[in-house]
């Protein structure tokens, strides 16, 4: 088969599309997928640089989601047949022409979404649902804030909250007027330029001092003190990224005074049973919203996987809004 290989940890130029060994036949509970498209995630950039190795037993090939066609099913798999068009959450292996994946991490293509578009859905849908509505427990009437509102996670989170909860939605993003306008179009009540404004001050003023009940944060250490300041009484901060560093100062007095909490959440290394439950919840609660048009994949651009170097560079330059998709030749 063909796959993107990484010659050594480093910049985008270390990747190339080349011939590699075929994966083994799917094992018990697995399916083999012929990949039609995959998506670029921030974790792929970190793995390429040597900072985010795959979990034990997972493929070393980049790629945490894909869409394609079932090529074969392993023993014990029920409800999936060769030829079925599906998308899947992966622990690795998406930047390839074929990948094996546990059947419980496979989802049907939502009605109204084509096969290539579907590659933009599994990772963001599972991440957002498990953090905003799971760990964060966002309730009706609360205030939700997402940092990086123009990212793949951000664009999906804005729409998901709009579709599934009557809550106020606030998004921070880079100071580009186009990005601020886009997150408003997607459903953000308030869009804040984190480069030009103090997001704590703006959001507290806009909410009459209430702050945010749930914050979804991709920045990590750099935003930790201000995120805690922004939390409402009983608020929940959910950290899912470390773009702003891994070590920050936490004011426990503020946290205690607000009876608030800080959670760290990741998806890739979760046990299979937990991933299966998340995927099942996404299928039950998020897929209907996609099929009625309340949530749509936001795709910045679609490139052939032979342009993977340019795709990674584009994501690193922060010029994107939504997802970058890579198509895989048949």
Q: Are residues 101 and 129 both part of a single domain?
A: no
Helix (H, G, I), strand (E, B) or coil at 158: helix
pTM of the complete model: 0.95
Q: What pLDDT sits at residue 242?
A: 77
Report the pLDDT averaged over residues 172-186. 91
| Cβ–Cβ < 8 Å for 71, 100 | no
In a domain, 288, yes or no: no
Sequence-distant (≥ 6) Cβ neighbours of residue 276 within 8 angstroms:
102, 104, 105
Mean per-residue pLDDT over the chain, rounded = 95
Residue finishing a domain among 264, 288, 319: 264
Query: What confidence category does residue 220 fall into, taking pLDDT thresholds of 50, 70 and 90?
Result: confident
Q: Are residues 169 and 150 both part of a single domain?
A: yes
Q: What is the distance between the alpha carbons of residues 279 and 127, in angstroms, rounded to a whole number?
A: 10
Q: What would the two tokens of residue 220 be?
A: 């990590």
Name the residue range of residue 247's domain. 125-264
Q: Are residues 214 and 129 both part of a single domain?
A: yes
Q: Are residues 235 and 158 both part of a single domain?
A: yes
Q: Is the confidence at residue 74, as pLDDT, over 90?
A: yes
Question: In this structure, which long-range contacts are made by residues 246-249, counting pairs with CB atoms below 8 Å and at least 24 apart in sequence?
Answer: 246/220, 246/221, 247/221, 248/220, 248/221, 248/222, 248/223, 248/224, 249/224, 249/225
Query: What confidence category does residue 221 fall into, taking pLDDT thresholds of 50, 70 and 90?
Result: confident
Q: How many domains would you assign to the chain?
A: 2
User: Tokens 């651009």 — which residue?
Assistant: 301
Q: Are residues 210 and 96 both part of a single domain?
A: no
């Amino acid at each position: 088969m063909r796959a993107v290989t990484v010659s050594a940890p480093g910049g985008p130029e270390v990747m190339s599309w080349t011939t590699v060994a075929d994966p083994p036949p799917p094992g018990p509970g697995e399916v083999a997928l012929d990949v039609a498209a995959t998506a670029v995630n921030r974790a792929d950039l970190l793995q390429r640089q040597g900072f985010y190795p795959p979990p034990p037993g997972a493929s070393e090939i980049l790629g945490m989601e894909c869409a394609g066609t079932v090529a074969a099913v392993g023993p014990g798999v029920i409800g999936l047949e060769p030829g079925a068009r599906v998308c899947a959450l992966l622990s690795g292996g998406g930047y390839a022409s074929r990948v094996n994946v546990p059947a419980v991490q496979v989802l049907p293509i939502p009605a109204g979404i084509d096969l290539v578009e579907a590659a933009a859905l599994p990772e963001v849908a599972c991440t957002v649902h498990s953090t905003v509505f799971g760990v964060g427990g966002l309730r009706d009437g609360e205030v939700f804030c997402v940092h990086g509102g123009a990212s793949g996670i951000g664009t999906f989170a804005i729409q998901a909250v709009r579709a599934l909860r009557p809550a106020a939605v606030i998004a921070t993003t880079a100071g580009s007027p186009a990005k601020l306008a886009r997150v408003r179009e997607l459903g953000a009540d308030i869009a804040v330029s984190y480069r030009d404004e103090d997001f704590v001050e703006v959001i507290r003023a806009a909410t009459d001092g209430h702050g945010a009940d749930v914050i979804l944060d991709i920045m990590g250490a750099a935003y930790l003190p201000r995120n805690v300041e922004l939390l409402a009484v009983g608020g929940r901060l959910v950290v899912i990224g470390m773009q702003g560093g891994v070590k920050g100062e936490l004011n426990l007095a503020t946290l205690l005074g607000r009876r608030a909490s800080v959670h760290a959440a990741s998806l890739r290394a979760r046990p299979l049973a937990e991933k299966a439950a998340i995927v099942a919840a996404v299928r039950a609660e998020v897929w209907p919203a996609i099929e009625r048009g309340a949530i749509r994949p936001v795709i910045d651009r679609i490139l052939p996987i032979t342009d993977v170097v340019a795709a990674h560079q584009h994501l690193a330059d922060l010029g994107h809004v939504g997802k970058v998709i890579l198509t895989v030749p048949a």
